[in-house]
Amino acid sequence: MDKRAGSAKRIAQNAAPEGVGARLVARFAHVGFASADVPVLQPAEPFFELSGEDIRRRLFVTTDDEGEELCLRPEFTIPAALAYLKSGVIGRRADLAFLGPVFRHRPGESGEFLQFSAESIGRNDREAADADLLAETHAAVLAETGGQPLVIRIGDLSLFQGLIEALGLTPAQARRLSLGLGEGRIEAILDGSHAQARSEAKGLARYSGVLDALKGADPKEAKAFVKDMLSLAGISAVGGRSAEDIASRFLDRAREDAQALGAEQAAIIRRFLAISGEPDQVSRELRALAKEGGLDLEGALDRFDLRTGFLEARGFAPGQLEAASGFARNLDYYSGFVFEIKRDAQGRPLAAGGRYDRLFERLGHEVPAIGAAIWIERLGAQA
């Protein structure tokens, strides 16, 4: 083999997804992330229960001989969390790096793709952990994309949670708004067209009569009514949901439709969502909004400012980060800091992640955790 052919082969190997993945694993190993793995075939129920509708709709699901639903892993975070809980090291820090194929329905793209994920579990210094993982993820993506400046967008879901708590909303209203933020339909909710938008998104438009009938009904009787309807139709489970689950969703939806936001509440939420800019600017504007509206956001904003300090200590200049009050990611278990990294504002994310303490809370444990995923196939693409 001549020198030119050998050089071309090395370039091809370095650009191949497996070569990129190996470099990412090595880079994160250098800062303490141990290589780890989880089975490709996973129980489907945790994803049904913990991920939210976006992942639920995109799973590749099958059933074993005993009737248990299984799926090809769509991501690494939930399997990593479950493995951590089974390991007997709850409370200890575990920094883990995963590399392998994941499987999700993606319109216009392959349903199987290679993904790298870094999961930092058990660090109690949350804001420092947030800054560290973003810094390492950004450095890794930068190294693989030729060093050109990247767009980094950050948000903090605890700020939105603090806002809706301060507004004194009902649990159903709070849940609807939180889901709407993650699913990109909160404007429809605030515009007063949330029932139609939600029904179209969830496929419930045909059941508007059922929803109307359930409004104001006794919860037990309403659930029994829906379960009877499903039983008459011969339906016991849909997409991993039992008849009980489906009945609960109908009842929750009926309650939501009966509880509209007040005009003043909607106006405050709109002002909150419109705030974006450098992190310090966002903090100032949010503090001004909180003072004007008599809202207690001080604790969440203090933590936001603390994280900003750690980000600056990790080398991020203020103008390098775009913070947005309304920025969220579409996984139900995110509960705090979230971020994404792109080549440009209109492009697809090259990497993204966030804090998922809520995932462990829903599994019955108080464990701080943050993770990041890097789409390896996109690192070499130009769009």
Q: Predicted confidence band at 353 (pLDDT cuts at 50, 70, 90)?
A: very high
Is the pLDDT at 199 greater than 90? The verdict is no
Is the pLDDT at 378 greater than 70? The verdict is yes
Average pLDDT over residues 43-48: 92
Q: Predicted confidence band at 176 (pLDDT cuts at 50, 70, 90)?
A: confident
Residue 241 or residue 220, greater confidence: 220
Weakest-pLDDT range from 182-196, 283-297, 299-313, 346-360: 182-196
Weakest-pLDDT range from 227-231, 232-236, 254-258, 262-266: 254-258
Tell me, yes or no, if the pTM score tops 0.85: no
Is the pLDDT at 240 greater than 90? The verdict is no
Crossing angle of helices 263-273 and 279-293, rounded to 10°:
160
- Residue ranges per domain, the chain? 3-162+273-379, 193-257
In the prediction, which pLDDT does 277 show?
97
Weakest-pLDDT range from 16-20, 127-131, 134-138, 340-344: 16-20
In the prediction, which pLDDT does 10 show?
41
Is the pLDDT at 84 greater than 90? The verdict is yes
Average pLDDT over residues 14-39: 92
pLDDT, tens only, 109-131: 889 999 999 999 999 999 999 99
Average pLDDT over residues 236-256: 59
pLDDT, tens only, 141-174: 999 999 889 999 999 999 999 999 999 988 888 8
Tell me yes or no: is domain 3-162+273-379 CATH 3.30.930.10.
Answer: yes
Average pLDDT over residues 349-359: 97
Residue 58 · residue 104 · CB < 8 Å:
yes
